[in-house]
Amino acid sequence: MEMMRKERIDRGIKVRTEGIYAISAMKEILYLLGPRLLLIVGVLLLPFFLELAPYWKRVINIMFVYSLLALAFDFLANYVGLVCLGGAFFVGVGGYLSAIFNSYFHIPIYLSIPLATILGALFCTLTILPCLPLRGVYFAIVTLMYPLLATRVIEALNILGGTNGITGIASFPHEYIEQYAVIFVMLICLFGMRRFVNEDIGLVIRGVKDNDQAVRASGISVTYMKTLAVFIASLMCCFGGAYIAHLYMWAGLSLFALDFSIIPIASVVIGGGGTLVGAVIGSFILVPLSEFLRFFGTFRIVIYCVLLTAFIILKSEGIMVYLQRKYHQFERWVKV
Amino acid sequence: MEILIYGIINSVTLALISLGFTLVYSISRLPNFAHGALYITTGYITWLFLNKFEGFPYPFAIFIGIAITCIIGALIYRFILIRIRGMEISEIIATYAIGLAILEGLRWGGLRGMTFTLPVFYPGTIEIFGVSVDYQRIIIVIVGICTFILLYLFTHFNKIGLALRGIAQDERAAMMLGIDSDTTAIISLAIGSGLAGFAAILLLPLGNIIVEAGYNVLIFAIAVCVIGGLGSWGGTVLASFIIGFAQILTEAFLSTHYQMVVALLAIIITLLVKPSGIFGKQKELEERV
């Protein structure tokens, strides 16, 4: 019997679009721009389509926030090598800061969100700073503790509204502002991060993950690079937190909840780690799914976890890597 | 006096909780984030057997509970962790996800409220130096100390135990001597889960079986292990005494709210000062830059 084996070859158009020839013909330009435009236009048009189903608008907002969180997790885990199990800490800090600014100091919403984003990211970076020399399991363990610690401290000291949280936060002036604010931030972050990791500084940060001793030997401070990376990641997460606080007009202990840590991780694993787009795609799948599963209550988390484990052991490359391969390459059977 | 006695009880409790976690990590380098979930599972299974079947003997229910947990631990390794061994990120995420799935699944399955309790082994209290302590807590201390001794004997004078230590010390050399890495990992995970279950059986009669206890157990186990040095047994015992007494002291002088805060702060401080823990055996380079 003849032995056959499957062979994967790059599509011709993929090879042609790698260099300057990408602009030689409309077809090549479309090949490159197509998937990107599909995402951008699709996302921008989403609010209009949802005029048909107003209930889903809220879900979509939350979905974009989760995709920001997933982006941050993907960046930290797969480009810097810091597995952060406590993404909820960043969200909580951003949300609470924004609530404080808006509710206590009456700073208007268009200032309180950016302020909370930047100051929150600074605060998070400063608190995480002591743990940055750690790596692997150790970093994961410590970051797992942070949201719990924050919850306990707020409970114990009974500050910031205690278990009731802070109420009376201003909402967004218009529905479309509410939606496009998060959509634009998400798109900017996504394409910004994709560019960033290929810039010089991004290459150094990726070097930290692969071989930190080599980075150090090159005379670059590893801790500085990690600090920078954590700052960037927490910027995205703190914006998400501040946005959620204004969306719900309430900031409470649930901002430190497990959901904000586990769903982004699940999205990254499902979407495909290390692709950045995969993180976004993953949360586009998971968050609406979670809305469908609302009926099941806490059983939702079980479903995520099972999905997560299944993807880790069976399809660890994730959806995005799979799609990219199908897009760029074709397969055929050849004789051995 | 009260502080001393309850401090000792609390310390032994913590040591019991963290023994399983540290055993698994020291032998197979797997951070078992499902530890707390396995703890609650044992309690729940034992409760099931006691309450759903009339007249089921308590010791037998305990035995079944621990046995099932052992099997779950072994299955987790055999079917899930074996495929991602060595990929640190995946190991952490997978065990954490399994733990979450078990805990939230139990919560969904009806493990809510205050109705889930296990009976104490021997009711009543006794006066020790003027402090009244109930028998259950004394049993915990005695059995806990016996467990440490038994484990020590098992790992030093038994062929399987020696194989486990061999893998822990130098995996390659041990494999060259014919010790299978995966088999020992399965055994270690089974024993570690069994120890978590054992701790649950001893400790749960003091309170309710609630899902939140699973998270707390995981955090305390990690706290103790990190402070004592991941994978070091002597360090685990010492660290559980440090945290145990620190907690009792905060409870006596501040308030119970701060118990968890103390544990978490202790971790952060330890990691800053000496990340390998008090008796950490890992090389410095492995864990920090």
Q: Are A72 and A233 in contact (CB under 8 A)?
A: yes
Residue with tokens 């047994």: B233
Instruction: State the pLDDT at residue A121.
Output: 93
Helices then strands, each counted (H, E), chain A: 14, 4
Distance in angstroms (rounded) separating the CA atoms of residues B214 and B37: 5
CA distance B58 to chain A (A): 30
Q: Determine, yes or no, domain membership for A34.
A: no
Q: Determine, yes or no, domain membership for A6.
A: no
Q: For the residues B28-50, what does the mean pLDDT come to?
A: 84
User: Would you say residue B64 has pLDDT above 60?
Assistant: yes
Q: Closest to A309 (Cβ–Cβ): which among B88, B98, B104?
A: B98
Q: Are A304 and A266 in contact (CB under 8 A)?
A: yes
Q: Determine, yes or no, domain membership for A52.
A: no
Distance in angstroms (rounded) separating the CA atoms of residues B169 and B165: 6
Q: Closest to A152 (Cβ–Cβ): which among B100, B105, B261?
A: B261
Express each pLDDT in B87-105 by its tens digit: 777 788 888 888 888 888 8
Task: Find chain B residues with C-beta within 8 A of A313's C-beta.
Answer: 80, 83-84, 94
Q: Are the beta carbons of A298 and B83 separated by less than 8 Å?
A: no
> The domain containing residue A237 runs over which residues?
59-335
Q: For the residues B1-5, what does the mean pLDDT come to?
A: 79
Q: Which residue stretches of chain A have pLDDT < 50?
A: none
Q: Residue A151 burial by CB count (10 A; 0-12/13-18/19+): exposed, middle or buried?
A: buried
Task: Find chain A residues with C-beta within 8 A of B268's C-beta.
Answer: 130-131, 142, 145
Mean pLDDT, chain B, as a whole number? 80
| Number of folded domains that form chain B | 1
Express each pLDDT in B130-148 by its tens digit: 777 787 888 888 888 898 8
**Structure-model confidence comparison of residues B86 and A66, the more confident one:** A66
CATH number for position A284 = 1.10.3470
Q: Are the beta carbons of A152 and B93 separated by less than 8 Å?
A: no
Q: Determine, yes or no, domain membership for A7.
A: no
Task: Find chain A residues with C-beta within 8 A of B251's C-beta.
Answer: none
Q: Closest to A83 (Cβ–Cβ): which among B92, B105, B108?
A: B92
User: Would you say residue B282 has pLDDT above 70?
Assistant: no
Distance in angstroms (rounded) separating the CA atoms of residues A37 and A17: 16
Instruction: State the pLDDT at residue A44.
Output: 87
Distance in angstroms (rounded) separating the CA atoms of residues B187 and B193: 10
Q: Closest to B108 (Cβ–Cβ): which among A135, A266, A299?
A: A299
Q: Closest to B88 (Cβ–Cβ): which among A136, A308, A309?
A: A136
Task: Find chain B residues with C-beta within 8 A of A305's C-beta.
Answer: 97-98, 100-101, 104
C-alpha distance from residue A286 to each of A51, A60, A259, A278, B183 (Å): 22, 11, 12, 12, 36
Closest residue of chain A to B289, computed from CA coordinates: A133
Q: Are the beta carbons of B84 and A83 separated by less than 8 Å?
A: no
Residue with tokens 């069976």: A314
User: Would you say residue B284 has pLDDT above 60?
Assistant: no
User: Would you say residue B3 has pLDDT above 70?
Assistant: yes
CA distance B173 to chain A (A): 25
| Number of folded domains that form chain A | 1
Q: Are B211 and B103 in contact (CB under 8 A)?
A: yes
Token pair for B105? 């699944």
Residue with tokens 């197509």: A34
What single letter denotes the amino acid at residue B171? E
Cβ neighbour number for residue B243 with a 10 Å cutoff:
25
**Structure-model confidence comparison of residues A284 and B115, the more confident one:** A284
Instruction: State the pLDDT at residue A22.
Output: 74
Across-strand partners of B258?
none
Q: Residue B146 burial by CB count (10 A; 0-12/13-18/19+): exposed, middle or buried?
A: exposed
Q: Tell which of A75, A226, A286, A309 to mutate to test the B interface (max B CBs under 10 Å).
A: A309
> The domain containing residue B201 runs over which residues?
2-121+130-287
Q: Are the beta carbons of B257 and A77 separated by less than 8 Å?
A: no
Burial per residue of B91-116, b for 16 or more beta-carbon CB atoms within 10 angstroms, e otherwise: bbbbbbbbbbbbbbbbbbeebeeeeb
Q: What is the CA radius of gyration of chain B?
A: 19
Q: Determine, yes or no, domain membership for A296.
A: yes
Q: Determine, yes or no, domain membership for A325.
A: yes
Q: Determine, yes or no, domain membership for A9.
A: no
CA distance A49 to chain B (A): 35
Q: Which DSSP helix (H) or strand (E) runs through A248? A: helix A222-248
Task: Find chain A residues with C-beta within 8 A of B107's C-beta.
Answer: 298
Q: Are A123 and B272 in contact (CB under 8 A)?
A: no
Express each pLDDT in B189-230 by its tens digit: 888 888 888 888 888 887 777 777 888 888 888 888 878 776
Closest residue of chain A to B106, computed from CA coordinates: A299
CA distance A259 to chain B (A): 11
Q: Closest to A145 (Cβ–Cβ): which among B92, B267, B275?
A: B267
Q: Closest to B271 (Cβ–Cβ): which among A138, A298, A312?
A: A138
CA distance B178 to chain A (A): 28
Q: Tell which of B88, B210, B264, B270 to mutate to test the A interface (max A CBs under 10 Å).
A: B264
Cβ neighbour number for residue A115 with a 10 Å cutoff:
18
Q: Closest to A305 (Cβ–Cβ): which among B101, B258, B265?
A: B101
B30 SS3 class: coil
* DSSP assignment letter at B230: T
CATH number for position B195 = 1.10.3470
User: Would you say residue B286 has pLDDT above 60?
Assistant: no
Q: Which residues of B touch A (CB under 8 A)?
A: 31, 80, 83-84, 88-90, 92-94, 96-98, 100-101, 104-105, 107-108, 219, 222, 226, 230, 255, 257-258, 260-261, 264-265, 267-268, 271-272, 275, 286-289
**Structure-model confidence comparison of residues B181 and B116, the more confident one:** B181
Q: Are the beta carbons of B257 and A155 separated by less than 8 Å?
A: yes
CA distance B34 to chain A (A): 12
A2 SS3 class: coil
A–B CB contacts, 8 A cutoff, strictly below? 123
Q: Determine, yes or no, domain membership for A32.
A: no
